[in-house]
Amino acid sequence: MSGTATDPRLAPSRQAPKRALRLSWTDPRFRSIVWQAVVVAVVVGIVGYFVGNARSNLEARHIATGFGFLDETSGIPIGETLIPYLPGTSTYLTALVEGVLNTLKVAVVGVVLATILGTLIGIGRLSPNWLLARITAVYVEVLRDIPVLLQLLFWYVLLQGLPAPRQSMRIGDAVFLSNRGIKVPLLIWQGAHSWALLGFVVAIVLSVLWVRHAHRRQDATGQSPPVLPVVLALLIGLPAIIWAALGAPLSFDMPQLHGFNFTGGGTITPEYGALLTGLVIYTSSYIAEIVRSGIQAVPHGQWEAAQALGLHRGKTLRLVVLPQALRVIIPPMTSQYLNLTKNSSLAVAIGYQDIVSIANTILNQTGQAIEGIAIIMAVYLTISLSISLFMNWYNAHIALVER
C-alpha cells in the first residue's frame, strides 16, 4: 500500500527550536534579565559610592592607603610566638603571620578536643545508666545557655587566681600550675625525631592503603583481613623503629623555678588556656546534641539487627550506628567548627594575641583601618572556606551511593 503518510514514530527526531527572546515586558525571560541587570547596577553603584567616599575622606585627612605599611618595622610585643619575632626588628607582616598562627593554634586544637568531648557527651546522653545520662544532660543544658564570652572570662579569672610561682601547685617535679600558666617538660627536638615524624606520616598513608585493600578483599571474598592490629603496628611500630635505629634520643627541657618565675620547659599561658577551655566546653555542648540527634536518626531496627548477630552495644554503636549517623551529623557539625573558629576572635577580651588583637594594634599605630579590617576578614574567610571545603569533601566521601 502506497501513500504519502508516514508513521510519526519512524520519523527522525527533531529538537524543538528554542523560543526566541522577545523584547517585551510580557516575556518572563526578558523581565528576569532586566531585574538582574538592575540589581547588579545598584550593587555596583553602592560599592562605588562607598569606595569614593572612603577615598575622599582619607585624602582629606592625609591618611595613606595601600598595604605598604606591612614592610614597616613593628614594635608590638607578642607574648606567644611560633615563628621568630622581635619587636623593633620584625615587620608588621611578620606580626600578622604570628597572629594567624595563634588563631590557628586555637582553632585546630579546639576543633579536635571539642569533637572528642562532644561525641562522648552526646553518647553519654543516650546511656542506659541513669546517672550518666542526667549528668550529661545537665552539662548540655547549662553550658549552652551561658554566653561564650562569660565562660571565657570565668576560666581566665580562675586561671589567674592560681597561686604565684613560688607557691605553685605541682605534679612531681615536672608540671607546675601557677598564675603564670602551666609549665610542662618540653622535648628537645633532634634529627631522629624529624625522621620519626616522617615515618609516622608514611605510616598514615600505608594505613589508608591497607584499609582500602581490606575493604576490597571483604567485598570480593567475604573475608576481612585484620585492620586494627596492622594499623596500630604501622602507626606505632614504624616511627619507633626509625627512632630506635637513629639512637633513640630522648631528653627534655625541664621547667625550673628561678627567683620569682620559671625558666625552661614549655608554657600554656592563662590566656591561651582560658580561651581554649572556654571554646571547647561551649562548642562541645552543641556538638553533643548533634551527635545525640544523629544517633537517634538511625532506625532502631539497626540496633536490633546488630544485637541479633551477637554484637554487644559498644560494637554496635561503633560499627553499625555511628557510620550511618555520620551522614546526619557532618553538615551541622561543620557549622559548629565554623562557630568555634569565629568565636576565637573573642580572645581580645582576655588578652590573647590572635589575628584580631594584633591587627587592631597595627591599625591603631598606622591608621590603616580599612586595610586592617580587610586583612581580618580575609583571614577568617579563608579559614572558614577551608573548613567548609574539607567537611563537604568528607561528607561526599561517606555518602551512600546507589549502584
For the ranges 100-104, 157-161, 313-317, 318-322, the maximum mean pLDDT occurs at 100-104
Q: Which domains are present in the chain?
A: 92-188+251-397 (1.10.3720.10)
List phi, psi (to 5°) of 184. Answer: -130, 155
Whether 2 shows a pLDDT value over 50: the answer reads no
Q: Which pLDDT score is estimated for 20?
A: 59
Q: 14-18, 238-242, 246-250, 286-290: which has the minimum mean pLDDT?
A: 14-18
- 180 vs 285: CA distance, rounded Å: 29
Q: 34-48, 174-188, 212-226: which has the minimum mean pLDDT?
A: 212-226
Average pLDDT, the chain: 86
Section 262-275 average pLDDT: 87
Whether 102 shows a pLDDT value over 80: the answer reads yes
Q: 10 Å Cβ neighbour count for 80?
A: 17
**pLDDT band for position 152 (50/70/90)?**
very high
Read off the C-alpha cell for 140.
548540655
What's the Cα-to-Cα distance from 339 to each of 108, 144, 199, 327, 380, rounded to whole Å?
Answer: 13, 13, 34, 20, 11
Q: Which pLDDT score is estimated for 370?
A: 84
Whether 202 shows a pLDDT value over 90: the answer reads yes
Whether 7 shows a pLDDT value over 70: the answer reads no
Section 93-107 average pLDDT: 93
Q: Which pLDDT score is estimated for 105?
A: 94
Q: Which pLDDT score is estimated for 3?
A: 47
Read off the C-alpha cell for 284.
562541645
Q: 94-103, 167-176, 195-204: which has the minimum mean pLDDT?
A: 167-176
Q: 91 CB contacts (<8 Å, ≥6 apart)?
A: 70, 71, 72, 73, 74
C-alpha R_g of the chain: 30
**pLDDT band for position 21 (50/70/90)?**
low
Q: Which pLDDT score is estimated for 117?
A: 95
- 121 vs 137: CA distance, rounded Å: 8
Section 249-276 average pLDDT: 85
- 169 vs 282: CA distance, rounded Å: 27
